[in-house]
Amino acid sequence: MFSLVIPTRNRSQILIQALAHLELLSYPRSKFEVLVINDGSSDDTRQMLEKLQVGYRLRVFHRNGQGTSATRNYGIQKAEGTHILFIDDDVFPCPDLLEYHEEAHRGHLRRLVRGPVINIPSLPLPQESPNLLYHYSQNYLCTSNASILKSLITEAGMFDEHFVRWEDAELGVRLKQIGVSRHFVLKGFVYHLKPPISFDRRLEYARNDGLSAAQLFQRYPSLKMRLRSGLHPLNYFRSGLLTAPPLRKVYESYLTKKPDGKLAPLASSLLAEREYLRSGREHLKKKGEKS
């Protein structure tokens, strides 16, 4: 039996659409449950969930803003299925997603199953078939489309609630340490709604990612983790050249005048990477690591 664990906070409109979409799953209703953990929403999430009627087993829990990792851990603890399937409140699975995950787990007791996550800027969902090879990912654990035995998550120690972001990457390291293999199911895909965000919000995400990358490297120091995080001298030097003060002013001016211009994606990417590296490097320096 699968338990689909979905944390949510202040996203009632897209959450309700995502839950309604789960009606399209072709998997037997008796073989899965959906757990929605409302993490202290201040919008109408509670009221919308109370009104929602679906044909599958839906279990709703309300908590007081504990954070994503704590919310997922709570959902795992409450789950009654043997396998946990992680998706998000803005994820829309293909109808036979659970069949693909079930088949990949059959005969394997220490396996994590992943599938493609296809980012889309808006609804409705694309009508044409996606190029799944393009969406193959080497990321070990992604909580938008991943399943694993509940007992293995417990054995690994659950999500670390101190991580602001990258909590899935950190748990992935511990799962690998206890001998859990990863299997990617190309046909078991989901669409992930990722609308454009403001530049300031992107910089905020970059700073949090940099902090989490530094925490991950500190916990598991190695050359491989250093390279994976990107927090190394070569990247500092390259970013320093490309975002030197005169150039940075040019990028910022361009984004102010032409936020949708042809060069806007490049300019915003360079500035976001600078924030990522700066945040991670500062955290390493505070902790006495060589940056």
Reported as a single tens digit per residue, the pLDDT across 84-104 is 999 999 999 999 999 999 999
- CA max distance for the chain: 62
DSSP string across 195-214: ----HHHHHHHHHHHHHHHH
String of DSSP letters for 82-108: SEEEE--TTEEE-TTHHHHHHHHHTT-
How many Cα atoms sit within 13 Å of 123 on the Cβ side? 11
CB 38 within 8 A of CB 11: no
Chain segment 109-166, per-residue pLDDT in tens: 999 999 999 999 999 999 999 999 999 999 999 999 999 999 999 999 999 998 878 8
Examine the pLDDT at 231 and tell me if it is beyond 90: yes
Domains plus CATH for the chain? 2-193 (3.90.550.10), 199-286 (no CATH)
Amino acid (1-letter code) at residue 11: R
Which has more confidence, 165 or 61? Answer: 61
* Residue spans of alpha helices (H) in the chain: 12-21, 45-51, 68-78, 97-105, 150-156, 167-177, 199-219, 223-229, 233-242, 245-257, 264-286
pLDDT at 227: 92
Residue 230 token pair: 């990107």
Task: For residues 147 and 258, give the distance between their C-alpha atoms in angstroms, rounded to a whole number.
Answer: 42
Does the pLDDT at position 224 exceed 60? yes
* pLDDT band, residue 286 (cuts 50/70/90): confident
Flag whether pLDDT at 234 surpasses 80: yes
Categorize the per-residue pLDDT at 289 as very low, low, confident or very high, splitting at 50, 70 and 90: low
Query: Quick one: average pLDDT of 227-246?
Result: 95
Long-range contact list for 65-70, CB < 8 A, 24+ apart? 65/9, 65/39, 65/40, 66/39, 66/40, 66/161, 67/39, 67/161, 68/7, 68/39, 68/167, 69/159, 69/160, 69/161, 69/162, 69/163, 69/167, 70/39, 70/159, 70/161
User: Residues 168-185: what's their mean pLDDT?
Assistant: 97
Distance between CA atoms of residues 115 and 141, nearest Å: 10
The DSSP code for 44 is: S
**Pairwise CA distance, residues 61 & 118, whole Å:** 28
pLDDT at 207 over 60: yes
pLDDT digits (tens, 9 = 90+) for 4-36: 999 999 999 999 999 999 999 999 999 999 999
pLDDT higher than 70, residue 291:
no
| Neighbour-count burial of 127, counting CB atoms closer than 10 A to its CB (0-12 exposed, 13-18 middle, 19+ buried) | exposed
The token pair that represents 193 in the structure block:
């709604």
Q: What is the mean pLDDT of residues 181-187?
A: 97
Q: What is the DSSP letter of 65?
A: -
Say whether pLDDT at 217 is over 70: yes
- Phi and psi of 161, rounded to 5°? -80, 0
Residue type, 242: L
Q: What is the mean pLDDT of the chain?
A: 95
* Res 77: pLDDT: 98
Could you give the CA distance from residue 205 to residue 230 in angstroms, rounded to a whole number?
A: 16
Percentage of the chain exceeding pLDDT 70: 99
- Burial degree of 254 (CB within 10 A; 0-12, 13-18, 19+): middle
| Whole-number Å distance between alpha carbons of 135 and 166 | 20
Nearest-5° angle of CA 5, CA 190, CA 108? 65
